[in-house]
A = this chain, B = another copy of it.
């Protein structure tokens, strides 16, 4: 494997490469499907050890990518996501060992019964087959996805961001060598990076060769894959998440929760972007919430009613610049920054209507001590996750007990919300009879 950069080959060449690569992956997957969990977990440990052992080679390749990135003027945030270090590689290797420790989803009997005619029916979890992955320049995703697909019995065909081409090539070489040394087919992890952008397009049209395509990255990348792909896509979405503070909320807890939801980690999809407050709680809640949020540098984009509660306080504290007028655009924006839209609503139904109009369907929180209000919100909001008296930041595979996370789905088919290993499987019906025929 060469450390080719973003070569833009012809579409025909890319199609040929994708077809050859996907067929090799399919062969490898069939071998893997016959192996039990012990073999898969041993391979994951071997991959972890190999990554640590070959840290120097990976860092050398990463240095090439970083140099190119700096020359091309890449933003510091993106450079940080591209950069590896000995510690980061060790952390990535540890995450492989954690995936090895998770239960194997393959073979789980999802349900089953014996029918009146004596047929014994069960549905068994099996791998999807060959997973395609299109992602941006984050080398940790290369390892992450290879490990998740291996654990769930799948092969993966990768197409990484071209800015990470040298790093990815080095990592993939390490992974393939380690697979072969562990007695598994190297083609469980393959790449179409040498075909450049045309490789991504060819992956999207490799229906029948690729069983499912998972885009991981920004909203633009995901939308492009969803629109273009004829291969089924598992969409990982963006999050315009809301926190609603009800008339009957525990206001002290509600301050802690909005601070956590907004500021505990900015720029992640489960951070809160809009705070909705019931009118009867506004004058008691908003000043306390604003104090705590302003202290952490959060700018509030507030509607007229919220500003009326806060303007005097902002002026008195010399924080007028942290209180600005909300516009329609604020309700739609996933800031990913220390900004929060704030709106006062007259009823819980108005809160639900606002969420219905503007949410991306990721996570919304209701803060209330009132059972009727809780039930109304849980039933009325159509999002992947509803938090009751808890921070939106809990929508995460690790936090919700799934172990490793493939991403957070905001689509409704196949997987919704945090996706664990089971999202990389399908089921097979197995029906056993004794010469049964249909009457």
Contact = CB atoms under 8 A, between A and B. Distances in A.
A272 to B, nearest CB: 12
A426 interface: yes
A318 interface: no
Interface string A225-267: 0110010101000000000000000100100110111001000
Interface in A384-407: 384-391, 393-395, 399-401
Given A414-B413, A429-B385, A391 B436 contact: yes
A432 B325 CA distance: 33
Nearest to A437: B260
Interface stretch (A121-129, A133-141, A281-289, A334-342): A121-129
A139 to B, nearest CB: 26
Given A115-B401, A426-B413, A257 B437 contact: yes
B394 A119 contact: yes
Contacts of A418: 429
A380 B32 CA distance: 11
Contact of A413 (B34, B232, B429): B232
A427 interface: yes
By size class, the interface of chain A is 35 or more
A434 interface: yes
A383 interface: yes
Given A416-B427, A438-B260, A432 B390 contact: yes
A115 B403 CA distance: 12
A180 interface: no
Tell me the number of copies of this protein: 2
A316 interface: no
A256 B399 contact: no
Contact of A431 (B400, B412, B426, B435): B400
A411 interface: yes
A323 interface: no
A378 interface: yes
A305 B431 CA distance: 30
A416 B129 CA distance: 14
A211 interface: yes
A1 interface: no
A417 interface: yes
Contacts of A426: 412-413, 416
B431 A121 contact: no
A433 interface: yes
Given A412-B212, A428-B416, A433 B388 contact: yes
Interface centre among A121, A257, A428 (most CB of B within 10 A): A428
Nearest to A412: B426
Nearest to A258: B437
A379 B33 contact: yes
A378 to B, nearest CB: 6
Given A412-B212, A431-B390, A438-B260, A226 B230 contact: yes
B416 A414 contact: no
A382 interface: yes
A113 interface: yes
Interface centre among A123, A386, A394 (most CB of B within 10 A): A394
A329 interface: no
A390 B264 contact: no
Given A230-B226, A438-B399, A430 B386 contact: yes
Given A119-B400, A388-B433, A390-B432, 20 more contacts: A33-B382, A123-B417, A126-B382, A129-B412, A253-B434, A253-B435, A257-B435, A260-B437, A385-B429, A385-B431, A386-B430, A387-B433, A388-B432, A389-B432, A390-B435, A393-B438, A394-B433, A394-B436, A414-B414, A416-B428
* 3 closest A-B pairs by CB: A390-B433, A253-B435, A260-B437
Interface of A: 33-34, 113, 115, 119, 121, 123, 126, 128-129, 207, 211-212, 226-227, 230, 232, 234, 250, 253, 256-257, 259-261, 264, 378-380, 382-391, 393-395, 399-401, 411-414, 416-418, 426-438
